[in-house]
Structure 1
């Protein structure tokens, strides 16, 4: 399987209100906010309550795995959005594709270019 390189440089975009959004690959220091965001995502989209211990362990493992990459969007030093990409085999394309999941933007920062910044970075 050919490894797809992942951009890890900071990319900044400005939305219509001139808020600066920076995107970077997540690291261990982001663990707590990733857990919080994933719990909020599951509750909001599927009415599920995820076990925080299991979720934390899962995110810790994802951060260590070569085939998983979490990205966070920040403004003024605060994480306001996230996504994770993994690799998946596509029989339709006869190759490996990126699968984007765990997409979450903090409610008060929605419709301000946060997801666009994450997507453009990836």
Structure 2
């Protein structure tokens, strides 16, 4: 039996998180990320915790422990609520570990972190419209589709 435990990521996890981000971009959007840029983006979170933090899921199988999933939490201030929304981002579960409750374990961990904290008013995430598997997972955990749509302008080209 393999146990899954969740912990805050450390700098020792940066390479694995970077691998996950590259795999996710390829799987979900067909994009190949510049590994140097994405790794620098991950390091930026560790250098400035005001940006957010990562958690990882570790599978303990006997004597071997392996990071099998990661996600990032970022913050959005809500003046309406005088509290932060926590955004779940960059979720990736290793393909061999999907549909085994890994994300649920991570989600439960995040919920536990928010208990008894008045400075967090909600947990949010966005998902690709076509990723119905992920949408069903989020719904099964009690999340609901919000009444907001997301708009953006890509400024990476200037």
What is the TM-score with the length of structure 1 in the denominator?
0.80
Alignment of 1:1-122 (within 5 A): 18-67=1-50, 68-76=52-60, 77-90=65-78, 93=81, 95-122=83-110
Counterpart position of 1:12: none
CA–CA distance in structure 1, aligned partners of residues 106 and 91 of structure 2: 9
Cα drift, residue 91 of structure 1 = 6.2
| Corresponding residue pairs, total | 105
RMSD: 1.4
Structure 2: stretches of 5+ with no match in the other structure: 111-158
CA–CA distance in structure 1, aligned partners of residues 68 and 108 of structure 2: 16
Residues 83-115 of structure 1, C-alpha deviations (whole Å, 9 max, x = no match): 100101346656321011010000010011100
What is the TM-score with the length of structure 2 in the denominator?
0.63
Structure 1: stretches of 5+ with no match in the other structure: 1-17
Structure holding more strand per residue: 1
